Amino acid sequence: MQSKKIFDYVIPLAEDGFEVNSELEMSIKKYSKGIDKSSPFFKGDGNTVKNGDIVKQPQLTKTLKGIKNNGPNYFYDKLAKHLTTELNGQIDKTDFNNYKSKQKKPSETKYLNTHVYSSSNPLGGGLMLQGLKLDEMLNNGQSDEQYLNSVLSGRDLMYSNRDIVNAKTNFSQEYLSNMYISNKYNNQNTSDSISDNSVKKTSTLHFVVVDKQGQMTSTTNTLSGYFGSGKYMDEGFYMNNSMTNFSDNKDSNNYHAKNTVPRSYISPTIIVGPDYYMGIGSPGGNKIPTILNEVIIDYLRGNGSLQDSIYKPRFYNDGNTVHFEKGMNKKYLDILQNQGYNIKEEKDNPNFGSVQAGIYHIKGSVAK
């Protein structure tokens, strides 16, 4: 599809508006503290829009039409000048001119009877694949204990390996070898609290799109904060703030430096099976690889439909504590307690993600 035709779909959403639903109303109220309220998501009295309101975005409409009618030069020239002025020189036109997008080979591995492709450095797909490889080593699908052990051990493994995810080096397929993963698993410290100060927010979205020809895209976008930096631009959008995902530790591979981008745990993934392929991804900060491991392992081991696997309550470990969603299998909780874990039920916790996935069967049917 030509880019101009794509704009024909998105411009009306900005110009004619869209209806706010209850979930968006709740999210705006929850995450709007301390941000610029000059956007269409806030009314003149400073209150947020409500369920049923129509939000029109005239500034964004103008920007989108400018790009549609004048091409990339409109963004890299006219918009770049405006943005550098609005941001008081924090970025300048040279930054726009020097920016280059890169096409990279995905991280990939075989898992069960499928071939799994996910994001490469500086994104978290390689870590997610390590979790799947470890599951094959520890879990023969015969017991709940094996499943729980593979997921929790996988999270420990991925955390201990977090520094291999960075913008300075490519993700090596060596990190997915059985020997590497076995050695890391046998020598890791499972008592450490799992945290990553470079990733503090979970304001991310994922979508999977399949067209009539069966072409699939699995895409994750992240703002780091729900409203990005909180600064609303005259051009009709909030500025991103993913630059806060850099580490302040000078010894870290994720330390900020010229011409580098920060680490992110987003893991957009496509799985190719014998007669189907599946796209999957999720928000969830540094829990994303674990979240996806749970759903992928459960589904590919034949424990119900893809939707069943997505709906099941999720869990993750932080040191010796396992956090879980309401409704989690009581047998799982008993196993964890018998193994010495502390368990803690969480409510309204974005760390459990929002897994989005779709399957395209080779014969031409799509299953969500």
Look at 12-26, 97-111, 322-336 and tell me which has the smallest mean pLDDT.
97-111
d(CA 18, CA 16): 7
d(CA 205, CA 242): 14
pLDDT at 170: 80
From the CB of residue 359, how many other CB atoms can be counted at a distance below 10 Å?
A: 21
The mean per-residue pLDDT over the stretch 341-365 comes to: 87
Of 16, 24, 64, 58, the C-alpha closest to 39 is 58
Contacts of 66 (CB under 8 A, 6+ apart): 74, 78, 79
The mean per-residue pLDDT over the stretch 35-51 comes to: 89
d(CA 103, CA 364): 29
pTM of the model: 0.87
Tokens encoding 7: 């704009």
Share of the chain above pLDDT 90, in %: 58
- Answer whether residue 365 shows pLDDT above 80: no
pLDDT, tens digit, 9 for 90 and up, residues 285-299: 899 999 999 999 999
Contacts of 19 (CB under 8 A, 6+ apart): 52, 53, 54, 55
Residue spans per domain, the chain: 3-98, 103-368
- Answer whether residue 176 shows pLDDT above 80: yes
pLDDT, tens digit, 9 for 90 and up, residues 95-116: 888 888 888 899 999 999 999 9
Length of the chain: 368
Kindly indicate the confidence band of residue 164, based on its pLDDT and cuts at 50, 70 and 90. confident
Radius of gyration of the chain (CA): 22
Tokens encoding 343: 């368990």
- Answer whether residue 194 shows pLDDT above 60: no
Contacts of 266 (CB under 8 A, 6+ apart): 119, 123, 124, 204, 206, 220, 222, 281, 288
Q: Looking at the domain 103-368, which fold is it? A: Glutamine Phosphoribosylpyrophosphate, subunit 1, domain 1 (3.60.20)
pLDDT at 244: 75
